Amino acid sequence: MAPGDTEGGSEHQQLLVTVTGQDRPGIAATLFGALDAVDAQVTDIGQITIKGHLVVCVELDCPADVTPAQVRRSVLSSDLGGDDRLQVTVSATELPIGAIGRRLLVTLTSSSLTAGAMARVCTVIFESGGTCERIVQLATYPVQCYELVVLGADHELLRTSLAAESSRSGIDLAVQRAGLHRRAKRLVVLDADSTLLTEEVIDLLAAEAGVEREVAAITEAAMAGGLEFAPALAARVALLKGLSVDALATVAGRLELAPGARTLVRTLRRLGFATAVVSGGFHEVLDPMCADLGVDRVAANRLVVADGRLTGEIDGPVVDRAGKASALRRFADELDVPLTQTVAVGDGANDVDMIAIAGLGIAFNARPVVRDAADAALSVPYLDAVLFLLGIPREEIEAAEEPEGDDPPGETESVQ
């Protein structure tokens, strides 16, 4: 059956009814009551209110002999017709050119947003063959965040074009496919150092041992590509030989969470997500913090202790770049979560493999090599902005923060 034809062969048309103006109670009920008198089926509805200004759009599937003027008269004959604060229009509608294909979601996050930046984003969408079907505000603080529903754009072209625009404008832009799978990501894995935490644990331990300069030199060499992670970690841990285990507890007590970290984990838990920390750091320092947060799984390195002091060695295989990806796979398997329903968040080259295999890989204030490997990148300092990429608006985050009786921390399982 061709579009616009019924089984009886009669032609049909789509009409768009739009009501705009000052919002007040009862407008929607009155509108649909008036439309009930028209020989038509409702095929789409959109409504939004901004600062008391209402926009309602209703798409109708009507017989060809029903005119826009007839529909408008029906609406104006209701209580809406006597309200001079409202405007009613009725027109024929059709899909815009290029609006064919799968929907994509563009998430825009920024500490501030100019009209010029928004114009450039919309231009990129247009030049990628798409049209912006809907814009939804997810948050106004601590950052501005908007979700744009885009129809008809080439996914890869849009992703690369928006990545370039993100670099130029300094606003975060992420592209995902729309669909139920997006809200079905059930395991979120976080790097610790400079992601969940504001600092590097090895640097804090080095300060306790009085070897900050030596450790920093090795770290710099590793970042410059002169050392792989495992030997660099072994060299730095060797410098901690003789450090009292009491220093581990001291450092654990001084850890500073990234802004929004506690909100992120608490919200994910209350929405039914599992959480994990996968780190090249150390269980002895991270486990107390993760238990306090209610993190479900932890994978990290273990330090060898003898007579109450560090021996300068690591117990067991090092959790390096490959080890992080392996831990993500293991946790997903243990929790019966497909990899496509996992999220990985990190900042360093050591996180690239787990970011690459996750259903959604997020680079958080990351180096370019990590941003290039990720599906999305955040440059704002608030870790709970990750929630916006999952389509969770600010009001749901605030609702998750409200007390729900006794809410004990989850049991944290430490896994080497």
Catalytic residue numbers, as ranges: 191, 193
d(CA 189, CA 360): 10
Could you tell me if 16 and 93 are in contact, meaning their C-beta atoms sit under 8 angstroms apart?
Answer: yes
Query: Which residues does residue 49 pair with via DSSP β-bridges, in sequence order?
Result: 54
For every residue of 115-139, DSSP letters joined together read HHHHHHHHHHHHHTT-EEEEEEEEE
Q: Give the side-chain half-sphere CA count within 13 A for 51.
A: 0
What are the structure tokens assigned to 222, written together?
A: 């590793």
Q: For the packed helices 115-127 and 155-169, what is the interaxial angle rounded to 10 degrees?
A: 160
Could you tell me if 201 and 282 are in contact, meaning their C-beta atoms sit under 8 angstroms apart?
Answer: yes
d(CA 154, CA 159): 9
The values of phi and psi at residue 119, to 5°, are -60, -40
What are the structure tokens assigned to 73, written together?
A: 């008269």
- What is the 3-state secondary structure of 170-211? CCEEEEEECCHHHHCCCEEEECHHHHHECCCHHHHHHHHHCC
d(CA 378, CA 234): 31
In sign, the C-alpha dihedral spanning 26, 28, 31, 36 is: negative
Q: Which residues contact 58 (CB under 8 A, 6 or more apart)?
A: 16, 17, 18, 31, 32, 35, 42, 44, 45
Output the CA torsion 352→378→102→151 (10° steps). Answer: -150
d(CA 384, CA 139): 11
